[in-house]
Amino acid sequence: MDNSLEYYLQQGLIKDSDDKSIAEKMLQGKRISEAEGLHLYEKTEPGILAVLANHVRQKLNDSNVYYIRNIHLEPTNICVYNCRFCSFSRKKDEPGSWIYSNHEIEKIVADIDDTVNEIHITAGTHPDASLAEYEEIIKLVRKKKPNIHIKAFSAAELYFVFKKEQISYAEGLRTLINAGLNSIPGGGAEIFDDEVRKKICPEKVPSSEWIEIHKAAHREGIFSNATMLYGHVEQYSHRIDHMGRLRCLQDETHGLNAFIPLKFKNRNNAMSDLQETTLLEDLKNYAVARIFLDNIIHLKAYWPMLGKKQSQLALAFGVDDFDGTIDNSTDIYISAGVEETDNALSVGALEQMIRQAGLIPVERYSDYSEVKR
């Protein structure tokens, strides 16, 4: 059966009049509105969402699904923030807290396989963190691995340090770029709505400043990613508002590489009374994100968060990025009680999962250019 959007429209398989209007708009290359995005969340059936989302994925990325050989480095779990959804962070001297010395970081980096193309550095925002410390970590990595792409320090970490040292975002970022920083990750965005932030992360970087830090990074010539934490106290309207702000940011700077929905996990945190979203809700969220964010080229299923098999299912709902090998280098979602504690995938396993979904695996660099081996 032809699963194209054109076929579904021609055969009258899209019954709902609003769904049909959205589909016709998409075929004409027009952007859907926030009201239409909300309709997709509230009314559109999962099968139709998949057809709409895969139309966008195919248009932007053909049948390619990207992955990268990567590693995470989490220098500390000590954090100044008190995010209610977080299972990873600890306070100073609290049982289970830790911070790596530069010597320990150097050893971790030295042991990274030379085939690894990217190191992702993010952690708790330590109360004693400084720009000089962040600069030193980047220099240390760059010295040990001259060719690796360094994606480091979320807007939450950067905001704390820049504000503490009373320097502009541009000045602070230039210092880190000169040390060897290549891009910044998308963490700390959570949900942009101020009322929701007051409930889940009141002390964290304000949403407006998260956006300004990413704008500054793009102006300084480096790209970034964007995330959204979903499945807690937010409503669909908050998700659409969040993605709407990202869409505006991308219209202005064109510096966002990928969008990464992150699922709230309810173990070992102050919001453990909340139920987690179902897999069907997760897949719906990927599909709406793919349809709505027409100007962010890549949509990533972060499999250490969602699970390997679940992430494979997400490939049928618009996802084109399967993250990477990771090699058991992150504890953030393990702390939150994910069912799979083996946070590693071989290249062979990644490629097999992508092919099983009827798509084409493409090994990438951090800028999504293809690795030729």
74/49 same-domain check: no
Provide the pLDDT for residue 327.
Answer: 77
- Of the candidates 283, 332, 313, the one whose C-alpha atom is nearest the C-alpha of residue 121 is 332
Q: What is the pLDDT of residues 276-313, one digit of tens each?
A: 999 999 999 999 999 999 999 999 999 888 889 999 99
155/112 same-domain check: yes
- Of the candidates 81, 228, 75, the one whose C-alpha atom is nearest the C-alpha of residue 160 is 81
71/210 same-domain check: yes
Provide the pLDDT for residue 298.
Answer: 98
Q: What is the pLDDT of residues 74-109, one digit of tens each?
A: 999 999 999 998 888 888 888 888 899 999 999 999
Asked if pLDDT for residue 330 goes beyond 60, the answer is: no
- Structurally, the chain folds into a number of domains equal to 2
Provide the pLDDT for residue 344.
Answer: 75
26/167 same-domain check: no
Asked if pLDDT for residue 142 goes beyond 80, the answer is: yes
Asked if pLDDT for residue 350 goes beyond 50, the answer is: yes
Prediction pTM value: 0.95
Asked if pLDDT for residue 251 goes beyond 70, the answer is: yes
71, amino acid identity: I
Cα–Cα distance for residue pair 323/181, rounded to 1 Å = 20
- Of the candidates 248, 247, 263, the one whose C-alpha atom is nearest the C-alpha of residue 300 is 263
Provide the pLDDT for residue 220.
Answer: 98
Provide the pLDDT for residue 304.
Answer: 87
48/143 same-domain check: no
What angle do the packed helices 102-110 and 131-144 form, to 10 degrees?
30
Asked if pLDDT for residue 268 goes beyond 70, the answer is: yes
282, amino acid identity: D
Positive or negative: CA dihedral 295, 173, 326, 270: negative
The answer to the question of residue 341 being in a domain is yes
Asked if pLDDT for residue 340 goes beyond 70, the answer is: no
Interval 239-265 mean pLDDT: 97
Tokens 């390997």 — which residue? Answer: 308
User: Model confidence at 3, in pLDDT bands (50, 70, 90)?
Assistant: confident
34/143 same-domain check: no
Domain enclosing residue 350, as ranges: 65-363
> Which residues, including other chains, have CB under 8 Å from residue 163's CB and lie 6 or more apart?
none
Asked if pLDDT for residue 197 goes beyond 90, the answer is: yes
In this structure, what token pair is assigned to residue 365?
């660099």
Give 208-233 as a DSSP string: HHHHHHHHHHHHTT-EEEEEEEESSS
The answer to the question of residue 264 being in a domain is yes
- Taking CA atoms, 43 is separated from 26, 60, 246, 284, 316, in Å, by 17, 25, 23, 11, 19
137/25 same-domain check: no
Give 22-53 as a DSSP string: HHHHHHTTPPPPHHHHHHHHHT--HHHHHHHH
pLDDT over 90 for what percent of the chain? 86
Single residue among 58, 74, 99 that ends a domain in this structure: 58
128/245 same-domain check: yes
Q: What is the pLDDT of residues 26-46, one digit of tens each?
A: 999 999 999 999 999 999 999
Average pLDDT taken over every residue of the chain:
93
Interval 161-179 mean pLDDT: 98
**Residue 129, H or E segment:** none
Residue 269 DSSP one-character state: S
83/226 same-domain check: yes
37/176 same-domain check: no
CATH number of 293's domain: 3.20.20.70
The burial of 103, by beta-carbon neighbours within 10 Å (0-12 exposed, 13-18 middle, 19 or more buried), is given as exposed
Asked if 327 and 305 touch (Cβ cutoff 8 Å), the reply is no
Cα–Cα distance for residue pair 187/272, rounded to 1 Å = 21
Interval 131-159 mean pLDDT: 97
In this structure, what token pair is assigned to residue 211?
């956006």
